[in-house]
Amino acid sequence: MDWFSGQEPATAMLNLSTATRIFVALEPVDMRKSFNGLYARVQSVLREEPTSGHWFVFTNKLRNRLKILFWDGSGLWVCAKRLEKGTFGWPSGEGASRCLRAEELTLLIHGIESTSRRRWHRV
């Protein structure tokens, strides 16, 4: 109960602040990895700090599973999703990871293809 309004608060267990960055690993990982394996991967391959509060997203070779690793201030979370049909439209690029906006992550998780509109206008 909310002390001031007397109503149940609307809670969002997983939410992103505008300061949260989302790093998507471009190379697939073994989905048997969990907290320690993904933590090590963030440090050694992505060269980021796992306890930064940013989100780190991984997929397998078949691109039908994904895991998200993030620190909430008191501990690590590992969230997983397995598709029953189809594959995730995984981004590509140079380097070990690519940064996504929150909207792009939402599309990725729901299996909707996303293309950047950063250069959509004609010159």
Give the single-character DSSP code of 7: S
Q: What is the pLDDT of residue 12?
A: 43
Q: What is the pLDDT of residue 50?
A: 96
Per-chain mean pLDDT for the chain: 85
Q: What is the pLDDT of residue 7?
A: 53
Q: What is the pLDDT of residue 10?
A: 43
21's CB contacts (< 8 A; 6+ apart) are: 54, 55, 99
Q: Which of 76, 10, 2, 89 is nearest to 43 (CA)?
A: 76
Query: Percent of the chain having pLDDT more than 70?
Result: 79
Q: pTM for the complete prediction? A: 0.80
Please determine, for residue 119, whether its predicted confidence score (pLDDT) is greater than 60. Answer: no
Mean pLDDT of all residues in 41-67: 96
CA distance 80 to 78: 7
Please determine, for residue 94, whether its predicted confidence score (pLDDT) is greater than 50. Answer: yes
Q: What is the pLDDT of residue 99?
A: 95
Q: What is the pLDDT of residue 47?
A: 97
